[in-house]
Copies of this chain bind each other. A is one copy, B any other.
């Protein structure tokens, strides 16, 4: 059997939104980063809110031949039980992440930019709709932009080329099963 390779006549950057309450949003973004690396494409990942709790992708991307830069800017999920930081502190972190996103988009040879949990950050007023709109406007035409996180803003979904809502059918933690490495973090 011959293995074919698809080559689009027109290459273009896509805006992809991954939202919903189910498991798989950050995972699918990281899978696209892995896939892009297989094509020799360079990615950057900016994690909003995440940063206080280790997750395997932080080391996973280090394997990818220097093709991926990951920055976790946050201090955990704003407003959840046990998180000790104020809304103002979370907002400051998220604003730093927005600045980093603009700076990163100017990297000439970047192919894919993941803004992980930015939908959630917008929903929680850690960033403003106008800021996310400005990122979409500034995006170079060749750059893929992936925006993850629950509660995506309808206007951001309207700007996307591809958008998925991941619905939770069930989740292990509801069965009292603790988060497991490799799957949940």
Contacts and interface: CB of A to CB of B under 8 A. Distances in A.
A178 B4 CA distance: 16
B164 A9 contact: no
How many copies the complex holds: the figure is 2
A3 B60 contact: no
A144 interface: yes
A143 to B, nearest CB: 11
Interface residues of A, number: 79
Contacts of A27: 27-29, 31-32, 35
A148 to B, nearest CB: 10
Nearest to A72: B3
Contacts of A175: 161
26 contacts: A1-B51, A3-B53, A6-B181, A6-B185, A14-B180, A18-B24, A23-B28, A28-B28, A30-B30, A32-B182, A35-B57, A35-B183, A36-B181, A37-B63, A38-B55, A38-B58, A41-B56, A43-B182, A63-B63, A160-B169, A161-B170, A161-B177, A162-B172, A163-B169, A164-B169, A167-B167
Interface of A: 1-6, 8-14, 16-18, 20, 22-39, 41, 43, 51-65, 75, 111-112, 144, 157, 160-172, 175, 177-183, 185
